[in-house]
Amino acid sequence: MSSAVHSTEEYDMDIRSLSSSRSHPQDPPYVHKVGLPPKQNLFKEFKATVKETFFADDPLRSFKDQTRSKKFILGLQAIFPILEWGRNYSFVKFRGDLIAGLTIASLCIPQDIGYAKLANLDPQYGLYSSFVPPLIYAFMGSSRDIAIGPVAVVSLLLGTLLQNEIADPVANAAEYRRLAFTATFFAGITQVSLGFLRLGFLIDFLSHAAIVGFMGGAAITIALQQLKGFLGIKKFTKKTDIVSVMHSWNWQTIVIGASLLSFLLFAKYIGKKNSKLFWVPAIGPLISVILSTFFVYITRADKNGVQIVNHIEKGINPSSVNQLYFSGDHLLKGARIGIVAGMIALTEAIAIGRTFAAMKDYQLDGNKEMVALGTMNIVGSMASCYVATGSFSRSAVNYMSGCQTAVSNIVMSIVVFLTLQFMTPLFKYTPNAVLSAIIISAVVGLVDFDAAYLIWKIDKFDFVACVGAFFGVVFASVEIGLLIAVSISFFKLLLQVTRPRTAILGNIPRTTVYRNILQYPDATKVPGVLIVRVDSAIYFSNSNYIKERILRWLTDEEELVNKSGHQNIQFLIVEMSPVTDIDTSGIHAMEELYRSLQKREIQLVLANPGPVVIDKLHASDLAQQIGEDKIFLTVANAVAACSPKLLSDV
Within positions 464 to 503, which residues make up the interface with a copy of itself, using CB under 8 A?
A: 489, 492-501
Q: Is 553 in the site for a copy of itself (CB under 8 A)?
A: no
Q: Is 17 in the site for a copy of itself (CB under 8 A)?
A: yes
Q: Is 516 in the site for a copy of itself (CB under 8 A)?
A: yes
Choose, by CB under 8 A, the member of 560, 619, 627, 645 that binds a copy of itself: 619
- Output b/e per residue, 415-442; b: 16+ Cβ within 10 A: bbbebbeeebeebebbbbbbbbbbbbbb
Q: Which of 559, 566, 578, 576 is nearest to 525 (CA)?
A: 566
Stretch near a copy of itself under the rule CB under 8 A, chosen from 27-35, 241-249, 406-414, 417-425: 27-35
Question: Considering only residues 447-466, where is the footprint of a copy of itself by CB under 8 A?
Answer: 454-455, 457-462
Q: What track of x and - describes contact with a copy of itself for positions 62 through 91 (by CB under 8 A)? A: ------------------------------
Number of residues forming the site for a copy of itself (CB under 8 A) = 121
Q: Is 603 in the site for a copy of itself (CB under 8 A)?
A: no
Give min distance, CB of 227 to a copy of itself, in A: 31
Give min distance, CB of 583 to a copy of itself, in A: 5
Residue type, position 301, single letter? A
Those residues with Cβ within 8 angstroms of residue 75's Cβ, 6 or more apart along the chain or in another chain: 63
Question: Considering only residues 322-381, where is the footprint of a copy of itself by CB under 8 A?
Answer: 354, 358-359, 361, 366
CA–CA distance, 526 with 193 (Å, rounded to integer): 56
Choose, by CB under 8 A, the member of 508, 527, 553, 561 that binds a copy of itself: 508
The nearer residue to a copy of itself, 111 or 643, going by C-beta atoms, is: 643
Q: Which residues on neighbouring strands pair with residue 631, listed in sequence order?
A: 606
Give min distance, CB of 335 to a copy of itself, in A: 22
CA–CA distance, 508 with 299 (Å, rounded to integer): 81
Give min distance, CB of 262 to a copy of itself, in A: 34
Give min distance, CB of 369 to a copy of itself, in A: 13
Q: Is residue 102 within 8 Å of residue 415, measured between CB atoms?
A: yes
Q: Is 518 in the site for a copy of itself (CB under 8 A)?
A: yes
**CA-based Rg of the chain, rounded to a whole angstrom?**
32
Q: What track of x and - describes contact with a copy of itself for positions 238 through 277 (by CB under 8 A)? A: ----------------------------------------
Q: Is 93 in the site for a copy of itself (CB under 8 A)?
A: no
Give min distance, CB of 506 to a copy of itself, in A: 11
581 backbone dihedrals φ, ψ, rounded to 5°: -155, 160
Give min distance, CB of 629 to a copy of itself, in A: 16
Q: Is 584 in the site for a copy of itself (CB under 8 A)?
A: yes
Q: Is 198 in the site for a copy of itself (CB under 8 A)?
A: no
CB atoms within 10 A of CB 546: 24
168 backbone dihedrals φ, ψ, rounded to 5°: -115, 95
Give min distance, CB of 141 to a copy of itself, in A: 18
CA–CA distance, 332 with 605 (Å, rounded to integer): 58
Q: Is residue 149 within 8 Å of residue 394, measured between CB atoms?
A: yes
Q: Cα(first)–Cα(last) distance of the chain, in Å?
A: 35
573 backbone dihedrals φ, ψ, rounded to 5°: -95, 125
CB atoms within 10 A of CB 62: 13
Interior CA angle at 220 toward 217 and 226, to 5°? 140
Question: Considering only residues 424-443, where is the footprint of a copy of itself by CB under 8 A?
Answer: none
**Phi-psi sector, 388: left (phi>0), alpha (psi -120 to 50), beta:** beta
Give min distance, CB of 613 to a copy of itself, in A: 10
